[in-house]
Amino acid sequence: MKKSSGTKSTASTTPSKHTPAATRIERDTMGELAVPTEAYYGVQTARAIENFPISPLRMPRSVIRAMGLIKRAAASVNYSLRLLDRKPADAIKQAATEVVEGKLDTEFPVDIFQTGSGTSTNMNTNEVISNRATELLGGARGSKLVHPNDHVNLGQSSNDVIPTAIHIAASETIQRQLIPALTRLHKALDRKAKEFDKIVKIGRTHLQDATPVRLGQEFGGYARQIELGITRMKRAQAALREVALGGTAVGTGLNCHPKFSSKVMAIISKETGCLFEEATNHFEAQSAQDSLVEASGELRTLAVSFMKIANDLRWLGSGPRCGLGEINLPETQPGSSIMPGKVNPVIAESVTMVCAQVIGNDVTVTIGGQAANFELIVMLPVMAYNLLQSIELLATASNNFAAKCIEGIKANEERCKSLIEESLAMCTALAPEIGYEAAAKLAKDAYKSGKTVREMAKEQKVLSEKRLAKLLDPWRMTEPGGPVGSAGG
């Protein structure tokens, strides 16, 4: 898939670069308007450019690709159903292929903050394909030899095409970018879990000392979070499986052949490797987008997992001398403009900012999902932008996190050992034999004296030295079993 320059999640961040002095006059139902002579887009796109000078944000490249996939498959199906002649059908398919491949990206200049149904983007696509197909058949741009509505949009409405394109774009981007990136991150964390499995360290709850764990166990927890994240992404794809195509304006399927949607989605499922099917109920599929809200919620959950892992690594690597310092993070760049030699956990920090963005995007998608009034939801473009940005950010952050942080982490084994022996939580292992209150007193006495729990237990002769050695073995504390009693809290 061709990627655009600039912000990854947009097809273009600047309007189409045509010379405004050279124009042609086009007409629609509202009258005449000048359009750049060399533009493949037409009069309705030109109106949208004038109407929505809001931001530099454009429809994500993946959505434009999906629009091309829909229009190409629609032309094939309409020809097979004898609704479209071969010549215009073939020309539409060729023009739509150029849209799919990203060759016409500069022809999509409409702002994200446009009509809530995305009609401007649908007509932008129809006009670009119409004019390119017309040109392929020897006609002049703007002549509508291949008509944007009658031919390119045959059997369709913006109200069913745009939500379908968003579903396709999101599912395909999850499949092609996010799941592979998460798989790499999971493998990196799992390798570290195995590498660090013999290293015992102090556990922490409430940011306070707790009973020992193995560093590998901590990393195993992180690996499992990402493994579950992959499962969640597959659930997101399942939520996106049903599409609105075939419902046309309000869900009734007016002006659409009854076999159109299933045939189009069979083609697109084969081309993308993602499963799509016609909605069970078109009124649900068009009047609401609970599916996008659900998918965004899965992405938000993944972002929360990332935030936990990244922050834990920042804590574990804090120091290098005056922090926890149990792991050493890869040094990627100087950390301070004033403090020489300082190195910061910048990769983990970048991940936390991605998480904040994704969580914020989910709020926008959620609010967009509430803009479902009667037979149509009217915040589709901004929902598309935020959902696709979240997918792409999490994918790129996953790859970068694995490559520039996780894969290079080293354990500070000596530091882990020294902190365990100093922990007062070691007394937890003695509680089943000497009682909770006696163990608590022992810990307090050790703290006041500056001694370790082991030293104080020996001094007070609470148990034999042989029994103390067994109970206070840190490795034994990292596994189930042993005397039964209160295990802390």
What are the catalytic residues?
206, 336
At residue 485, what are phi and psi to the nearest 5 degrees? Answer: 180, -170
- Please, what is the Cα angle at 77 between 90 and 164, to 5 degrees? 110
Bridge partners for 242 per DSSP: 277
Q: What is the C-alpha separation between 293 and 390, in angstroms, rounded?
A: 13
Q: What is the C-alpha separation between 169 and 257, in angstroms, rounded?
A: 24
Bridge partners for 210 per DSSP: 203
At residue 480, what are phi and psi to the nearest 5 degrees? Answer: -65, 160
The residue assigned the tokens 């083609």 is 267
Structure tokens at 231: 């499962």
Q: What is the C-alpha separation between 213 and 215, in angstroms, rounded?
A: 6
Determine contact, residues 455/448, Cβ cutoff 8 Å.
Answer: no
Comparing C-alpha atoms, which of 238, 243, 292 is closest to residue 264?
A: 243
Q: Are strands 327-328 and 277-278 parallel, antiparallel or unpaired?
A: unpaired
Q: Are strands 376-377 and 372-373 parallel, antiparallel or unpaired?
A: antiparallel
